[in-house]
Amino acid sequence: MTRVLSCIQPTGAVHLGNLLGALRNWVDGQHDKDVFHGIVDLHALTVTTEPDVVGPATTELAAILFAIGLDPEVATVFVQSHVPEHSQLGWIMECTVSFGELSRMTQFKDKSARREADFVSAGLFTYPALQAADIVLYDANEVPVGDDQRQHIEITRDIAIRFNNRFGDTLVVPEAVTPKAGARVMDLQDPTSKMSKSGETDAGCVFLLDPPEVIDKKFRRAVTDSENEVRYDTVAKPGVSNLLDILSASSGTDRDTLAGQYSQYGPLKADTAAAVIELLQPVQARHQELMADPGELARLLAVGADRARSVASATLERVHRAIGLLPR
Ligand code: AMP
Ligand code: TRP
């Protein structure tokens, strides 16, 4: 069966864009392929400088992944640092990629430029080697990623091919696949920008754990336009179109049908808020249950870590043997 790997960093609160654009596809796809989902806490360390931040964020994200419907019996959900083979293979991947190749990564150039006055860790630079380890450890055939991550999958392929050329056929060369198109959710206050946790204010971003009254308020204050016509047109009417997209993704009704049902913005906003609240209600309830039962959450993550480790340790063993490291 095709093996698929997706990873997400535990940095900041999960929002509606993450859910409708990506996470929902994880849940829908879990029965079609052999899926591994890593919460990549070691990647978050590239920009972490304080204690007790990454752990709680990891717990919260794990609870969300189970709450939205990832089934631990079917999908392998694990925390990267619970599987030490990631760091171990990461080093070997660093020795298989060149300084020049890493220097060409646009994400490194962007991130280091934005952190000009900040600490730029060496990890930020070597990050793609750890990402390559994440992928090849699981013999992943497919890695669903957005455009911003394509270059990292390309470099993973280059690293795997180089390793195989040097040491013999050992690693599966993965392919980047375009995830099934999810909704692209825009910021409620600035509907020409993607909804993001790093947006100007929280007012434009609906977090998965926002209480119903906060969600309602955010939608009622959503920026629209000065016309008075509900119509889907992302260029002329980005705010209204975003509401229609969100309502459609939350309710399952197509956006053109929905557009025909409204003549005013007020009811469209209210119904979109109600649909999102209804969509999130069971997720929030399950999340709360899991957060109240740390033992159960730890058990679920241990199941994932054990399954991940059994694959990862076999790969690392194969790599050591291919290189010809002295066995202990
Ligand atoms: P990020 O936390 O920005 O790295 O995003 C994690 C995942 O959520 C990625 O796969 C993104 O494609 C997806 N995503 C993030 N923001 C949005 C958005 N506003 N609309 C749709 N998908 C999004
Ligand atoms: N670099 C990815 C991001 O910033 C996260 C990530 C780490 C990843 N390891 C991965 C994604 C392996 C896919 C496969 O979003």
> What distance in angstroms lies between residue 145's CA and the mean position of ligand 2's atoms?
8
Quick one: fold of 202-288? Tyrosyl-Transfer RNA Synthetase (1.10.240)
DSSP assignment of 100-125? HHHHT-HHHHHHHHHTTTS---HHHH
> What distance in angstroms lies between residue 117's CA and the mean position of ligand 1's atoms?
27
Indicate which atom in ligand 1 lies nearest the CA of residue 148. Answer: 12
Q: What is the pLDDT of residue 178?
A: 85
What is the per-residue pLDDT across 270-281, written as a single tens digit (0 to 9) for each?
999 999 999 999
Q: Is the CB of 149 under 6 A from ligand 2?
A: yes
User: How do the domains of the chain map onto residue ranges?
Assistant: 3-182+293-323, 202-288
> What distance in angstroms lies between residue 5's CA and the mean position of ligand 2's atoms?
9
Q: Which ligand is nearest to the CA of 198?
A: 1
Q: What is the pLDDT of residue 52?
A: 96
Low-confidence residues in the chain, pLDDT < 50? none
* CA distances, 85 to each of 20, 167, 193, 215 (Å): 32, 19, 38, 41
Q: Is the CB of 135 under 6 A from ligand 2?
A: yes
- Candidates 5, 11, 18: which one to mutate for ligand 1, based on the most atoms within 8 Å of Cβ? 18
Q: Per the residue annotation, which of 33, 109, 111, 217 is the catalytic one?
A: 111
- Residues 61/10, Cβ–Cβ less than 8 Å: yes
Does the annotation mark 109 as catalytic? no
Query: Which region, left, alpha or beta, applies to residue 179 given φ > 0 means left and ψ of -120 to 50 means alpha?
Result: beta
CATH code for 3-182+293-323? Answer: 3.40.50.620
Q: Which residue has the tokens 């994440």?
A: 134
Q: What is the pLDDT of residue 116?
A: 83
Residues paired with residue 35 on neighbouring β-strands, in sequence order: 4
Does the annotation mark 194 as catalytic? yes
